[in-house]
Every structure is written in structure tokens, then in C-alpha cells.
Structure 1
Amino acid sequence: MIESVAAVTPSNRALVDGEVYVPGLPVEDVTQKYGVAPDDVAKLASAENPHGASPLALKAVAEAQSRLSLYPDWTAKTLRAAIGEKYGFDPEGVVCGSGETEVISMLIRAFAKPDEPVLMHSPCFPLYRIYSHCEGRRPVFSPMGKDFDPQVDHYIDVMRRVNPKIAFMTNPHNPSGRLMSESEVRRICEAANSDTLLALDEAYVHYSSAQFGMDLLREYDNLIVLRTFSKAFGLAGLRVGFGISNNPDIIRPLRLIKPTWNMGQMQIAGGIAGLNDDAHVARAVATIQEMRPYVTSGVDKVDGFRAVPGSEANFFLTEILNPELDSTRVFNELLKRGVIVKDGSDIPELGSRYLRVDVNLKKHMDRFLWALADIKA
């Protein structure tokens, strides 16, 4: 009889008791708990496409079912070729992931050694920080200013001081939606050391006026642009994302470190079709650009709340001005009224005075504004 067994332990403490990402709640949770009809629930916490999935992608996914018994190309060659053609780059400069989040995890593992610094704004997309901790890397934060001004001068100062192995720039920023100008991003690129990988995360770029990221790839050999199919293309449930660079020395390690067959037949087919569904993307962008000023001006009219200005994403921050309320209480009160938002307390650097709220169809914006006004301290 074995009296004792040595404990098997993970490689670092973050894999035992580290931070866990908190996604937006599903509609079913609100329907089951509060009895709100599914069609009436305003799901405003996951930045999903208000018009659903690309029709072209849906058709392609259905057709791909006939190939489910076959292994796909391990590099998603046809999808990489479509991305390269769309944006004017060699497909060898493209790596695909099961969502952009997988590409983020690969970057951190491939380009930063244990305890080496990874730079990001504070607050940031939580997975930059979570993946860094889980891989034993060291997140370094550059604070944002009033109304989430990116404070580019300060970011550059921090970058020069710590010489990070990876520097994340999120444009538009998550969770605020604030945008860095082309000149600001260029300043960061110019200031970075050649051994710092610059990761420009453009998950929400379609909704913004910032259409310069791909062009910068031709100028900076240490730059990679990250994109997702989850937002403007409406394929969040398919899990497709990519990284693109003009420098094959950045992409080659990512291709080697990624799970071998991380992209299935339906992901590849749906991604190719969705990528070229310009009409669907244009429809989503038009809705967001129309509803964003509508809902933010509406929030500003609700006593005790304020929309943080400047978002160019398909979400914005609502600041809670009433001292008798906090984000968790408002979040729960909104749930009772059939509205799902993101509680700022689930984003550690954001805190309890903010909610992140998606921009969506008018009926959902109206429900959110009604519910917010209905909450009493």
C-alpha cells in the first residue's frame, strides 16, 4: 500500500489561485432567474455583432460539414491566404488562432521568458495580464489619465525604463473605447527598442476611425497586428482570430508554438467567407456609429450617471456618479430589468465606479436607458 504520494504542482502560483477571466453572462441566466423573455434581454457585455453572424460565413460553415472527417491544413493555409490577399501581405506573415485570445497567449509564451516584463495599459484587456501571470511573465502597467486618456508620453517613459519584451497597444482601447492616433502609435513604435515586440490589438478597429495599423507593418519589423472575427464579422462562437506581420521571424515561432490543429474545417471555411462579407461588416459598423451617440447622450441625461466620452469601439464606459451606488449593485439591478452589462469590479484596474456597456440595436439601447433610470439609490 502506498502511504504517501508526492504532490503534483503547477509551474507557478498563478495556475493555482490566479485571476480568472469573467465573461459576459449569457441570456439564459437572466431568463431563468428573472423570467425576462429571451428576445427582451439586452445582452450588452460581450461586444457581439448586433446583426449576428455573417450570412456568407453561415453558408460556408454548413458546406464545410462534409469535410469534418478530414484533418485541415495544420497552418490554416487557405485562411492565411485569404487574409494575406485581403490586406496585401504574404500569407507566410499570418498566423491563425482559435480566437485572437489564443494568438495573445502564443505571443506571451513565444517572446517573453519567465519573469521578463510585458507592458500594457491600466486598465487593460484582462487576458494580457492573466496570460502573463499564468506563463510566469511579469505584467508592467502604464496608467491611463482622466477619462482614460492613454497618456502616451508616460507609456513611452515606462517602456524605456523597463524595456519590455512585449508591449501591448489596444486600439481602440478595451474597456474604454479610447483611441490612440496614428501619430501616437508611431511615437511608441519609434521609441521602442528593436528587441521589443509591439503588439497592436485591433479587435474593435472596424468601428473606429483608426484604419492605419496594417500600413504600419511595412515600416516596423518588430510590429504585429492582432485581429478577431468575433466582432464586426459576427463569428464569436466560431473562434477565429489572427496575427499579421511583415516580418516572418515574428510569425515562424508562433506557428511552431501553437497547437498543431488549432483551426478546424468550419473555422477555416467560415473565416474565409466572413472575411469577405463586406456588406455585413458595413451594416454592423453603421448601426454602431448611429447608436453610439444616441445611447451615450441618453446616459448623460440620467441622474447619477455619466458616459465616459471618446469611445470609438462598439462599447463605452458608464461612470457611476451617485456615491450610494457601486458597479456591482447597479449590475445586479440591471439584470433584474433584463439588461446584461460588464461589472467594472470584474476588471481589477477599472474598479467599482464603472460599467462597460455594449452599443447595440436601438431597442436594446432603450431598454438599458430605461433600466438605468429606474434604479434608485
Structure 2
Amino acid sequence: MHPRDLSDHSPYVPGRGVEEVARERGLDPDDLIKLSSNENPHGPSPAAVEAIREHADRVHQYPKSSHTDLTVKLAEKWNVEPEQVWVSPGADGSIDYLSRAAISPGDAVLVPNPGFAYYAMSARYHHGDVAEYELDPTDGFAQDAETVLEAYGSERIVYVTSPHNPTGATMSLSAIETLADATAPETLVVVDEAYGEFAEIDSAIPLVDERDDVAVLRTFSKAYGLAGLRIGYSVVPESWGEAYARVNTPFAANELACRAALAALDDEAHVAESVETARWAREYITDELDAPTVDSAGNFVLARVGDAERVADAAQERGVIIRDCTSFGLPEHIRISTGTRTETPEAVETLNEILAELDLGVRA
């Protein structure tokens, strides 16, 4: 007995963690700077931590009330109906819910390359096919409607990531409208705004209330610092609302995650500090790193260093964990998450020393 043929499925490759690098390199975890997974260097909101403590003795109960409360609060935040908010275990969970709701065997999705691997993974799990549109590195990985439409073939779902991972590029609201207008009525344009808080552009969520062919993904993993709790959501057209009960994994968003998210939503100061630090750090990296970078609206910067594997390996040896972007199909690029005002200069200094020593022929 064997599982079905999964040879078309590429595993998701996460950024390396502090503990595994420390064990492998024989380093003290406290001496490492982790800038590989686009996490919030300020950690979670203190209010979220307190909410976890306060509700820890209730984890024997299913999260019915907290899930409902979070749904209502998010609906109020975005001025939509509660039925339009699909709370999920991370934004990844919402990707699965939309796949379940939209994809029949043989349907296809259109995804960016490079891009987040889980769009394609989820489609294939649900017996769908995958097509790609290419983002051009010579054009700064610019995202526009024309680039997507050139590859479009009436796919059931079209994914747009804004800000895009790993490049940090955005797609304007007008371009998203153009894309949605130009695609077939049965195509759902899904805008992944996991890094939306860091960008100085408008969210696409208002479009969801105006039309039935746009949905938006959001998460508490980044600006809110709750990555370890796996809590996110999507905002879907009102006509899609009733599908949630048919595709939602029962009680998938756990009690402590929902309670922490509720508290984090109220801690606007923590989000503001996180966003401000990320914007400062990405500007610092862009200005000070001795390698060409891509304009980013996220909490990370993509840099072309010539040989990502060698640079990332050398950085780990010196206590700085960054993302080798070979798994994104970008073997010459590294992605550097924004750190604190102390971590970021230290990491950039280390990387500059490595770039000088390796002399890979790349200069900013």
C-alpha cells in the first residue's frame, strides 16, 4: 500500500530555524540573528501573550465563541459582512478553503513565478492543474495586469501576491481591477496581502464588496507577530459566504490563536512599531548592502549576490540566518528579513564582509 502519485508535488521549503542552525553549526542560539522567515523581530503583542495566558485553561473546549468573535471583529475592521470573513489556520488554510470551494478536477490555477509554492501545492492537492506567469528580474519583478493576462488561459483561480514574496513588488488597486475585468466571470482573482500592513498601498478588500470575482488573503503571522499560532483569514465575495461551512475544517483555528488575534487587533501601537521598524530596516538594507536589491514593500529585501547558497552558508557560519532563494528559482538571490535596529546593521555588516571575501562579481 502506497500513497497516490505525488511526484508532481514540490515540498514547501521554509526558512531555516535558529535551533536547527545552532545544532548544525555548534553555535549558541542566543548569538544567532534570524532573518530568513519574514517574522516579526518584536515578537507578538504583549496583549496577545496575556490573552494566551488568560485563556490557556480553556483549551479543553472547542473554539466556537472565540472563532465567532474574531470573525465579527474582522468584519467590522474591513466593513464587510461576517459571512465574508473565512478565519483559517494561517492564510495557507484559506488557500485550501478557496481551492475546495472553487476547483473541480482538471480546473487550473495561474500563479506567479517566482512565488509562494503553496498556491500550486493546494491546487494539486485538490486535483487541479497549475499554470504560471513569469515575473521578470530585469524589470524589477514588476507586477501589472498585462503580465498576468499574457499567460492567462481562463484558469479558475488567478493568484496575485501584493506585496509579492520574495521580491516585495506590489500590484496597484487599479491593475487588480483591470485584471479582474479582463478575466472570465468564472475566474476568481485572489490577492494575497500577507504583507499588506507593511505596504503603502490600498488593500484590495474594498473590491470584494463591489464584485463577486475577487477575494483577499490576510494573516496574523507577519505584522502581528503570531506566526507560531497559525491564524489568518480571507475576505470573500458575499455570494461565496455560505460555502465556508461546507469547506472549513472543523475548529481548525484554535482557541488560543483566536484569542491572541483578538487581542492583537486592539494593540495598534505594536503593529505601528512593527511596520515602522520594517520600513526603516528595508531602507537600511537597500542603502547599505553591497549588492543590488529589489524595491520592496514587505518586511524583507531581495538581493542579487551571485551565489545564494555560498553566501547563505557563510552567513550561517557567522551567526546570521538569511534565505537562500534557490527554492524560488532564484539561485543568485538571497532574501533578508527586516530585523530590529540592532540586528539589521549587524547582519548587513556581516553580509558585506562575506561578499567582499567571496568576491562573486556583484556590486550594488
TM more than 0.5: yes
Q: 2 CA distance for matches of 1:228 and 1:147?
A: 26
Q: 1 CA distance for matches of 2:149 and 2:196?
A: 22
Q: 2 CA distance for matches of 1:18 and 1:75?
A: 35
**2:143 aligns with one of 150, 153, 172:** 150
**2:285 aligns with one of 276, 295, 299:** 295
Contact map agreement 1:74 1:262 (CA 8 A) in 2: no
1:257, CA displacement in angstroms?
A: 1.5
Q: What corresponds to 1:307 in structure 2?
A: 293
Residues 326-365 of structure 1 deviation map (CA, whole Å, 9 limit, x = unaligned): 1111111111011111111122xx3211111101112222
Q: What corresponds to 1:354 in structure 2?
A: 333
Q: Which moved more, 1:226-235 or 1:28-37?
A: 28-37
2:223 equivalent to 1:232: yes
Q: 2 CA distance for matches of 1:192 and 1:179?
A: 20
Listed as ranges, the matches of 1:320-331 within 5 Å are 320-321=305-306, 326-331=307-312
Q: What corresponds to 1:4 in structure 2?
A: none
Q: What corresponds to 2:273 in structure 1?
A: 283
Q: Which moved more, 1:227-236 or 1:119-128?
A: 119-128
Contact map agreement 2:32 2:320 (CA 8 A) in 1: yes
1:45, CA displacement in angstroms?
A: 1.1
- 1:241 partner amino acid: G
Q: What corresponds to 1:37 in structure 2?
A: 28
1:17, CA displacement in angstroms?
A: 6.6
- 2:339 partner amino acid: N
Change (3 A) 1:131 1:245: closer
Matched residue of 1:369: which SS? helix
Q: Which moved more, 1:288-297 or 1:37-46?
A: 37-46
1:154, CA displacement in angstroms?
A: 2.5
Change (3 A) 1:259 1:28: same
Unaligned runs of 5+ residues in structure 2 are 359-364
Unaligned runs of 5+ residues in structure 1 are 1-6
Contact map agreement 2:41 2:340 (CA 8 A) in 1: yes
Contact map agreement 1:75 1:96 (CA 8 A) in 2: no
TM-score, structure 1 as length reference: 0.89
Contact map agreement 2:66 2:255 (CA 8 A) in 1: no
Contact map agreement 1:81 1:91 (CA 8 A) in 2: yes
Listed as ranges, the matches of 1:51-200 within 5 Å are 51-73=42-64, 76-145=67-136, 146-159=139-152, 162-200=153-191
Q: 1 CA distance for matches of 2:37 and 2:254?
A: 23
2:345 equivalent to 1:366: yes
- 2:292 partner amino acid: R
Residues 194-235 of structure 1 deviation map (CA, whole Å, 9 limit, x = unaligned): 211111110001000122312222222111111000011110
**2:195 aligns with one of 196, 199, 204:** 204
Contact map agreement 1:152 1:188 (CA 8 A) in 2: yes
Contact map agreement 1:240 1:267 (CA 8 A) in 2: yes
Q: What corresponds to 2:318 in structure 1?
A: 337
Residues 243-274 of structure 1 deviation map (CA, whole Å, 9 limit, x = unaligned): 11241x32322331221111221112111111
- 1:222 partner amino acid: D
Change (3 A) 1:88 1:151: closer
Q: 2 CA distance for matches of 1:209 and 1:192?
A: 26
**2:208 aligns with one of 204, 207, 217:** 217
Matched residue of 2:64: which SS? coil
Q: 2 CA distance for matches of 1:85 and 1:26?
A: 36
Q: What corresponds to 2:361 in structure 1?
A: none
Identity of aligned residues (%): 31
Q: 1 CA distance for matches of 2:280 and 2:99?
A: 37
TM-score, structure 2 as length reference: 0.92
Change (3 A) 1:87 1:366: same
Contact map agreement 1:74 1:261 (CA 8 A) in 2: no
Q: What corresponds to 2:241 in structure 1?
A: 251
1:75, CA displacement in angstroms?
A: 9.0
1:74, CA displacement in angstroms?
A: 8.3
Matched residue of 2:227: which SS? coil
Q: 2 CA distance for matches of 1:74 and 1:163?
A: 40
Change (3 A) 1:98 1:197: same
Q: 2 CA distance for matches of 1:165 and 1:17?
A: 19
- 2:76 partner amino acid: E
Q: Which moved more, 1:34-43 or 1:329-338?
A: 34-43
Matched residue of 2:229: which SS? coil
**2:303 aligns with one of 318, 325, 328:** 318
Q: 2 CA distance for matches of 1:194 and 1:224?
A: 14
Superposition CA RMSD, Å: 1.7
